[in-house]
């Protein structure tokens, strides 16, 4: 018996396209009714539940009579707009049978990248949970472009878990969990029951594309677990075809793969920084600066910067790269891109002579910096 989830009181449940549609032929009302029934059971036990559900584009395709998922952005957006109507109507009907109210929340990355909108989204979701409402979340596919997409609903589920400081993220799929290799190709592959979220070995094991209807794969689920762990949320990857999988998981039954969070959760401001998928620019460091940040918890000084790329203004969120180009941190920068390039590699005492003024001696203060 695994007791990690028995203590969970705030849960994000993500269900993929294959679990809410008849393999792309429209919504599976029996399946949606099943999820509503299980979530109602969790609510009766005192759990707060947020549902991240795919299915809008698949439903839109069915309503429009399309057999193949389109590649053109405007056609995908149109399918999402049409399908969202059916998805929301179906869920509202299913939850009403259990005397539960549901709410639709559509998010884009821009909603979470802006600090004020991030806090507004968090307040709205918390208020809905306090009112006993089931928030049903999806990416706002009707307006997003590739540049501002979350990329998949696994990532969105992790970001929502961080946003509301959930205890657990449950990712339900058509696979039994994470295997040591793709079981469809390797008969010797074995299921991983428990592992640490963020273990690099897991990313090596995961891979392969998802179904022809959805966009995810096992790698997106492993990376989602790594992201959710930053706010202290444990992640389960399990089959949505398991009978009563949600109540059984919260009763401590071992189903699928549990990826545990070991690190202490970040404070709200640093969690917001860590959750930036898109950034305005990048700052590359030398080995000494990397050691100062990672080992000593220091601020980032201009002298440790070797390269500045992108265009940004003071206060923007930038990615911080080590000497090998690996993404190691996020931070709020004290100088614009042009100014940062001019003072890169220079001592803090030289800033005023170069720029004509000095705002801060640090390029990024440690209070505005989070290691990934």
Our measurement of the distance from residue 123's CA atom to the centroid of its chain's CA atoms, rounded to an integer in Å, reads 18
Query: Rounded to 5 degrees, what are φ and ψ at 254?
Result: -85, 110
The topology under which CATH files domain 279-371 is: 2.30.130
Q: What's the length of the chain?
A: 372
> 167 falls in which pLDDT band (50, 70, 90)?
very high
Domain boundaries, the chain: 5-270, 279-371
* pLDDT tens sequence across 130-147: 999 999 998 876 666 554
Query: Could you tell me if 84 and 90 are in contact, meaning their C-beta atoms sit under 8 angstroms apart?
Result: no
Residue 148 scores a pLDDT above 50:
no
pLDDT of residue 149: 58
- By C-alpha distance, which of 340, 353, 345 is closest to 313? 340
Report for 66-75, 111-120, 308-317: range of highest mean pLDDT: 308-317
More confident: 73 or 193: 193
Helix, strand, coil percent values for the chain (each to nearest 5): 40, 20, 40
pLDDT of residue 264: 63
- What are the structure tokens assigned to 273, written together? 């920084």
Query: Could you tell me if 64 and 269 are in contact, meaning their C-beta atoms sit under 8 angstroms apart?
Result: no
Report for 18-27, 133-142, 243-252: range of highest mean pLDDT: 243-252
Residue 11 scores a pLDDT above 60:
yes
> 208 falls in which pLDDT band (50, 70, 90)?
very low
For tokens 């891109």, the residue is 337
End-to-end CA distance of the chain: 32
* pLDDT tens sequence across 322-352: 999 999 999 889 899 999 999 999 999 999 9
Q: Is the pTM of this model over 0.85?
A: no
For tokens 């993404």, the residue is 327
Report for 7-21, 136-150, 214-228: range of highest mean pLDDT: 7-21
Query: Rounded to 5 degrees, what are φ and ψ at 88?
Result: -70, -45
Across residues 102-111, what is the average pLDDT? 87
**Domains 5-270 and 279-371 fall in the same CATH topology:** no
> 127 falls in which pLDDT band (50, 70, 90)?
very high
CATH of domain 5-270: 3.40.1160.10
Which H/E stretch holds residue 284?
Answer: strand 281-285
Mean pLDDT value across the chain: 87
pLDDT of residue 119: 77
Rounded to 10 deg, the angle between the 73-96 and 56-64 helix axes is 110
pLDDT of residue 175: 87
Name the burial class of residue 12, with classes exposed (0-12), middle (13-18) and buried (19+) by CB atoms within 10 angstroms of its CB. buried
């Amino acid at each position: 018996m695994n007791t990690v989830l028995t203590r969970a009181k705030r849960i994000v449940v993500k269900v993929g396209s294959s679990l809410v549609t008849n393999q792309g032929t429209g919504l599976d009302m029996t399946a949606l009714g099943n999820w509503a029934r299980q979530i109602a059971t969790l609510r009766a036990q005192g759990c707060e539940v947020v549902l991240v559900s795919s299915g809008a584009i698949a439903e839109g395709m069915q309503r429009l009579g399309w057999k193949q998922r389109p590649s053109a952005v405007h056609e995908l957006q149109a399918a999402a707009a049409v399908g969202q109507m059916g998805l929301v109507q179906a869920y509202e009907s299913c939850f009403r049978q259990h005397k539960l109210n549901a709410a639709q929340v559509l998010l884009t990355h821009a909603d979470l990248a802006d600090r004020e909108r991030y806090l507004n989204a968090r307040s709205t979701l918390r208020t809905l949970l306090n009112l006993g409402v089931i928030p049903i979340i999806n990416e706002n596919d009707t307006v997003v472009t590739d540049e501002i997409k979350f990329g998949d609903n696994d990532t969105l589920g992790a970001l929502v878990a961080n946003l509301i400081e959930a205890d657990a993220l449950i990712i339900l799929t058509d696979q039994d969990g994470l295997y040591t290799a793709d079981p469809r190709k390797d008969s010797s592959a074995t299921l991983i029951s428990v592992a640490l979220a963020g273990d690099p070995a897991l990313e090596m094991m995961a891979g392969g594309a998802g179904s022809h209807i959805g966009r995810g794969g096992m790698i997106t689920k492993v990376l989602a677990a790594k992201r959710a762990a930053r706010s202290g949320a444990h992640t389960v990857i399990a089959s949505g075809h398991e009978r009563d999988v949600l109540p059984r998981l919260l009763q401590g039954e071992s189903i699928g793969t549990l990826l545990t969070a070991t690190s202490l959760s970040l404070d709200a401001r640093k969690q917001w920084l860590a959750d930036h998928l898109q950034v305005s620019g990048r700052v590359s460091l030398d080995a000494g600066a990397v050691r100062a940040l990672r080992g000593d918890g220091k601020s980032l000084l201009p002298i440790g910067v070797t390269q500045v790329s992108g265009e940004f203004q003071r206060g923007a969120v930038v990615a911080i790269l080590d000497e090998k180009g690996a993404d190691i941190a996020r931070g709020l920068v004290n100088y614009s891109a042009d100014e940062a390039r001019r003072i890169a590699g220079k001592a803090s005492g030289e800033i005023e002579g170069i720029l004509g003024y000095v705002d801060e001696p640090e390029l990024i203060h440690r209070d505005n910096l989070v290691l990934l």
